Structure 1
Amino acid sequence: MTPEHRPVRIGVQIQPQHAPYEKFRDTAAALEELGVDVLFNWDHFFPLRGEPDGMHFESWTMLAALAEQTSRVEIGALVNCNSYRNANLQADMARTIDHISAKGGQGRFIFGTGSGWFERDYDEYGYDFGTVGSRLDALARDLPVIEDRWAKLNPPPTRTIPVLIGGGGEKKTLRIVAQHADIWHSFSDAATLERKLGILAEHGRVVGRDTSQIEISTEIGNRSLHEVEQQYALGARLFTIGISGPDYDITRVTDWLAWRDDKNR
């Protein structure tokens, strides 16, 4: 589906830091009720902002709980760290959450993944940090393994699980996106996004993929409406909003949902 035929979607990343699980759960319920399209968390073991040793919870177990708790929204990590789990295990976990979320229909799990970057996670949990290049090489190696395992599992996933890849590296990351991603997520401003889309298209030509079929996702953050409209004009259709504990302020989400609905009329 090309951008002109793809609806705008709003995703909210409920960052699992500085709040008890009950607050995370209640926030997810409120956001689904509001009408968001996707709920994300992130795959880290410690807070990324605020008190470094503050309250924090693990990604995949929370996603399984979200799959059971919710009934409509898609769910996933923004993003999973490929380094933390064996590739075949990741595939099996994703398939299982896909089935938990199906509720009699198709699953709602998005396999959001990336190469990892937060060194403290690696050091304290005993993973080899390596280099940016080695972590990206591992991601490129493991994605075909994950896709192959999905084809072998019994039962198989309920649908072709969408793969979201996060990151904007032009030589390696965007090539991996061209090869494997259904959704590409970055934090690019409009000028950067335009340039990187050109690079992504070139990678697509090399690997034989029409990259216009990839859904473009970007973080709203503190961007103005004008800036978000620029990203929309470039083809972005999934827009994410990050919220952090302890309060999980969702008041901004309502305005962006109204913007989404206006775009999708």
Structure 2
Amino acid sequence: MTDMAKKNAGIRVRQWSVTLVLAILCVWAFGGIEFTGIKETAGQVSKAIFRGLLHPDWNYVYLPEGEDLLRGLLETAAIAVLGTFISAVLCIPFAFWAAANKGKARWATGTGKFMLSLIRTFPEIVMAIIFIKAVGPGSYAGALALGVHSIGMLGKLYSEAIENLDRGPTEALVACGANKLQTLWFAVIPQVLPDFFSFALYRFEINIRSAAILGVIGAGGIGTPLIFALDARSWPRVGIILLGVVVMVTIIDLISGYIRKRLV
């Protein structure tokens, strides 16, 4: 058997091994789930929500006094903005800590990556429950939960942007006698700043959706009136809230996508 034939045989063996392992994992996963079927009330609830979407409670869009759709959506957007701002600022030192740059000790990079992975381990809902216990229910807890949770993912993306930057400007400034602060300000930041803004906007899109969910457990936003409407079986109100969330998320996605294209 020639070397090429041996190499092709080894590749096929690895491919079939990976396929077999994935098949075993899928069989194990499905075997570990107890399928109890769909409840009889599922169809009724689905029809009720669909009727609510077709006949929403338009009076709930704006109320002169008390909670309404616009206030809930604005609060949700505010939670996402504040959470994204907190994470976008606080994750910068973590990103430089975790970035694997030339001449940097491996243990320093490893500890930074470990910290970011540890932060990403806790979902937003778990973070929100912790902060609700710490500061009380409301939008403040939601903003803190999104801010801390987003540090893990934004820090990872920021560190990759730092690792992939062009070393030419940095080396040129060092050759001219620039110190570390000057090199950082004139060579590193101008290169990574567009990526930082783009990643922050992308994370903001995700945080908008997360902020709408966190209200279900009392972390403020539009999720709070949504869970109340579901408990009260007020399907027209559920419909108008869902429509409002869809419209808000769609508009923010379009604006964010346009801004990110301009940054690139």
Higher strand share: 1
Q: Whose RCO is larger (CA < 8 A, sep 6+)?
A: 2
What TM-score do the two structures reach when normalised by structure 1? 0.23
Calculate the TM-score normalised by the size of structure 2. Answer: 0.23
Higher helix share: 2
Which structure has the greater CA radius of gyration?
2
